[in-house]
Amino acid sequence: NVPETTNFLLQFLSLTAHFVEVCGTYLVLRGKMVNFEELSGFPDFATEAKLQECFNYVVNLVQKGGSIVEEGFTKTKEVKIKAFAADLVTEYDKRVEDLIIEGIREKYPNHKFIAEESAAKNPLTADPTWIIDPIDGTTNFVHSNPLIAISVALAVDGKLLMAICLNPIHKELYTAIRGRGAFLNGTPIHCSIVTELKNAVISIEVSLAWADRLRDEVIGRTHVLSGRVIGIRSLGSIVLALCYVARGSLDAYQMEYLQPWDIAAGALLIQEAGGVVKNHRGGEYDIMKAQVLVAGTQELYDQMLAVNRECEGKVITFAKP
């Protein structure tokens, strides 16, 4: 009986939501369990209680970092240029990163870090390693644009285990633990089920065209895709674009020339939300080789990949008016 089945499912979901509210935790089981045998060599995560303790502890640190971001959001910032003109850093980036690293180091002194401002060159080993972007979308932040995020991922034995992303301005906390689904403020999220480009809203970071060596590639691909999709968005925050794919607000996203901290947390969120995370050439995603093409479905990924291959090596020319 379809109505009875529907009613049962609604009651079950209601009870689940109540359970989450009562427990006050961001960790909700998806019907899968972390394989603790894989983590037996890592005592900080070797039991359910220890894994939960670590997760909640770092969520709290990220939220404290969010308060720092909120503090500086509307203020005039002291801005420095790092490697190139579009690569900005503020005092708030450093404060957030220091808070998170120092907090984790205090509780877990043996853990390693790969972080944008202070530990960018560290390698990824089998040791528990936190991959941190203190403020993704710094240019947005400097201009008081709310599309910004703190991104923290944990890799253990070279594999992503945990993801925590926070947009402190919109109060959106995205979380995932491998095998347990992805969540926004404690509510399960899922990638979209769009399978065709003609029905898709995608994201490409068009601002990469500021670089002479990338301009033809970025503009060319955008030109081709613009005639095949419903819409193209450019958010100025890689982390949020990945979060939006995980929640189904974007159907696909592509970005190259990145760093591990740009992608790691968002990659796990999308995987746990049922999406596809690979590189822009069809290969497997590599945490340390941060070039990604992500989509809600395999079919859409394949079509985006076909466009990449179609555009490769081509220069798009535009007729003069």
Each residue of 246-298: pLDDT tens digit?
999 999 999 887 899 999 999 999 999 999 999 988 999 999 987 899 999 99
Question: Is 260 found in the same domain as 140?
Answer: no
The answer to the question of residue 12 being in a domain is no
Question: Is 151 found in the same domain as 214?
Answer: no
Catalytic option among 136, 205, 251, 272 = 136
Question: Is 306 found in the same domain as 208?
Answer: yes
Write out the H or E segment, with its range, that includes residue 252.
strand 252-255
Based on DSSP, count helices (H) and strands (E) in the chain, helices before strands.
8, 14
Question: Is 176 found in the same domain as 29?
Answer: yes
Question: Is 182 found in the same domain as 44?
Answer: yes
pLDDT at 320 (0 to 100): 56
Domain end among 146, 166, 189:
189
Return the percentage of the chain with pLDDT > 70, whole number: 81
- Is a pLDDT exceeding 50 seen at residue 18? no
- Does 116 carry a binding-site annotation? yes
Return the percentage of the chain with pLDDT > 90, whole number: 62
Between residues 36 and 266, which one has the greater pLDDT? 266
pLDDT at 255 (0 to 100): 87
Domain end among 145, 160, 189:
189
Question: Is 110 found in the same domain as 132?
Answer: yes
Catalytic option among 93, 97, 116, 272 = 116
Question: Is 234 found in the same domain as 169?
Answer: no
CA dist 192 and 177 (Å) reads 20
Each residue of 161-210: pLDDT tens digit?
999 999 999 999 999 999 999 999 999 999 999 999 999 999 998 876 66
Question: Is 175 found in the same domain as 60?
Answer: yes
pLDDT at 31 (0 to 100): 41
Question: Is 90 found in the same domain as 170?
Answer: yes
Residue 94 lies in domain? 23-189
The answer to the question of residue 5 being in a domain is no
- Does 136 carry a binding-site annotation? yes
The answer to the question of residue 210 being in a domain is yes
**Could you confirm whether 262 is annotated as catalytic?**
yes
CA dist 193 and 199 (Å) reads 10
Between residues 160 and 11, which one has the greater pLDDT? 160
- Does 312 carry a binding-site annotation? no
Mean of pLDDT over the chain: 85
Catalytic option among 90, 117, 131, 138 = 138
Each residue of 38-74: pLDDT tens digit?
888 899 998 989 999 999 999 999 999 999 999 999 8
Between residues 141 and 22, which one has the greater pLDDT? 141
**Could you confirm whether 138 is annotated as catalytic?**
yes
**Could you confirm whether 136 is annotated as catalytic?**
yes
The answer to the question of residue 249 being in a domain is yes
Catalytic option among 93, 251, 262, 272 = 262
pLDDT at 211 (0 to 100): 66
**Could you confirm whether 127 is annotated as catalytic?**
no
Each residue of 66-116: pLDDT tens digit?
999 999 998 877 777 665 555 566 888 999 999 999 999 999 999 999 998
**Could you confirm whether 251 is annotated as catalytic?**
no
CA dist 261 and 267 (Å) reads 10
Range with the lowest mean pLDDT among 6-15, 17-26, 173-182?
Answer: 17-26
pLDDT at 1 (0 to 100): 53
Please name the amino acid found at residue 184.
L
Catalytic option among 135, 189, 263, 270 = 135
The CATH number assigned to the domain holding 37 equals 3.30.540.10
The CATH number assigned to the domain holding 210 equals 3.40.190.80
- Does 44 carry a binding-site annotation? no
What's the burial of 63, exposed, middle or buried (CB within 10 Å: 0-12/13-18/19+)?
middle
